[in-house]
Amino acid sequence: MGQKSICILGMHRSGTSAITRSINLLGAYIGEEHDLVPPEDYNPEGFWERSDVVKFHEGLQRKFGLSWDFVVPLPEGWHLAEDMAPYREELKGLVTRAFAGRPLWAWKDPRTSVFVDIWKEVLKEMGVETVFLHIIRNPIDVVRSFERRKMLNRGGMLAVWLNYNCMALRATAGLRRAFLHYDTFIKDWEGELSRCFAELGLDWPADASAFRAEMAQFIKPGMRHSVSTIDDLRNYGAPRPVVELYELLEGACSGKASADGAFDSKAEKIFNEYAEYAYFFSDYMKNLCSRTEALKNGQEALKNSQEALKKKDAETRAYEAEFRRISRYVDEIEKTCIGEGGG
């Protein structure tokens, strides 16, 4: 029996972390605790994504001169280029090390949405059957989640949302996939996950009582701070392609997308229209990413210099303290010698 993997797709701040953990509780291996990115203040329940997967995607970002929030689609067939061969081999090694002997495994990093082409190509070569779970959240709520982290570029985040989802849809067209809305998941996680498992051809546990108990502890009201509708999105002033794509994806969460032959053509039309205009910003985004990377490296160098200076200051203080101790010791000896001589 061959391996099967679950690719979890979706924009940052769309609920992919919570859903990945749920998939993990249903039996899909994602890694050991030491393999995973540790929780942070704005995601205290954990990211449930592997550090090696994140590192691999960061390498791809550097290869293309991009940052995680880029808004320009990668060119069609990018993953098949000759200079991508080392990355394909790197990914094969990653999959072998991380998931060897695991009959069912899953991975998640939101950037998979834009790099999924290389994953599906490599996994196909390795004989791993892959299904795709595409997570949806209203773009307004994604933006608001970023705003709580003081990232206030609303228009930019809507463009990132559109790019991530468009690229994921194009790469998975015609493949076995299911769509899951984060809001509906929070309200009815068992019903929605059961539906998605059926659509993906995955086995639901015969006895789900342990899973229910774990989920009852894991799902908390604070995991969802805002809930918006399609009308809210229209009134928000979101660009037409964003509204159209979200409406299309929202409908797909009913499970009808695979049966609707018009779904992929509608998604492709939105993608092509967006890509034509996004091209205008291609060089600008690369230059911006280059400057951002230079700033990041400069900040890291400054931090290292400050730490080295602190270490040097600490060493200097330690030398000074030792010098004072020795001086006091010499003074005491001199006093003792003088005292003995005077006696």
229 three-state secondary structure: coil
Tell me which residue of 250, 301, 262, 278 sits closest to 75, measured CA to CA. Answer: 278
Q: What is the pLDDT of residue 113?
A: 97
Residues 252-293: pLDDT tens digits? 998 665 555 789 999 999 999 998 888 777 665 666 666 666
Q: What is the CATH number of the domain that holds 175?
A: 3.40.50
Q: What is the pLDDT of residue 59?
A: 96
Tell me which residue of 50, 51, 40, 53 sits closest to 13, measured CA to CA. Answer: 40
Mean pLDDT of 227-249: 92
How far apart are the C-alpha atoms of 119 and 57, rounded to whole Å?
11
How far apart are the C-alpha atoms of 132 and 167, rounded to whole Å?
13
Residue 268 covered by a domain: yes
Instruction: Supply the angle between the helices 85-99 and 112-125 in degrees, to the nearest 10.
Output: 80
CA distances, 5 to each of 133, 137, 158, 175 (Å)? 11, 23, 29, 13
The answer on pLDDT for 22 being more than 60 is yes
Residue 225 covered by a domain: yes
Q: What is the pLDDT of residue 245?
A: 96
The answer on pLDDT for 150 being more than 80 is no
The answer on pLDDT for 169 being more than 70 is yes
Tell me which residue of 213, 287, 282, 273 sits closest to 241, measured CA to CA. Answer: 273
Residue 208 covered by a domain: yes
Please return the burial class of 31, using the count of CB atoms within 10 Å of its CB with bins 0-12, 13-18 and 19+: buried
The answer on pLDDT for 308 being more than 90 is no
Residue 325 covered by a domain: no
How far apart are the C-alpha atoms of 244 and 15, rounded to whole Å?
21
Residue 300 covered by a domain: no
Q: Which amino acid is at 57?
A: H
CB atoms within 10 A of CB 342: 6
Helix H or strand E encompassing 134: strand 129-136
User: Could you tell me the residue range of the domain that residue 175 belongs to?
Assistant: 4-281
Tell me which residue of 194, 82, 179, 91 sits closest to 135, measured CA to CA. Answer: 179
How far apart are the C-alpha atoms of 242 and 161, rounded to whole Å?
8
Q: What is the pLDDT of residue 305?
A: 80
User: Is pLDDT larger for residue 301 or for residue 231?
Assistant: 231
Instruction: Supply the angle between the helices 262-278 and 240-251 in degrees, to the nearest 10.
Output: 150
Confidence of residue 23 (pLDDT cuts 50, 70, 90): very high
Q: What is the pLDDT of residue 306?
A: 84
Per the structure, the count of domains in the chain is 1
Which residues lie closer than 8 Å to 145 by C-beta, 6 or more apart?
Answer: 13, 225, 226
Residue 328 covered by a domain: no
Residue 322 covered by a domain: no
8-state DSSP, 84: G
Q: What is the pLDDT of residue 190?
A: 94
The answer on pLDDT for 302 being more than 60 is yes
Residue 318 covered by a domain: no
How far apart are the C-alpha atoms of 169 and 171, rounded to whole Å?
6
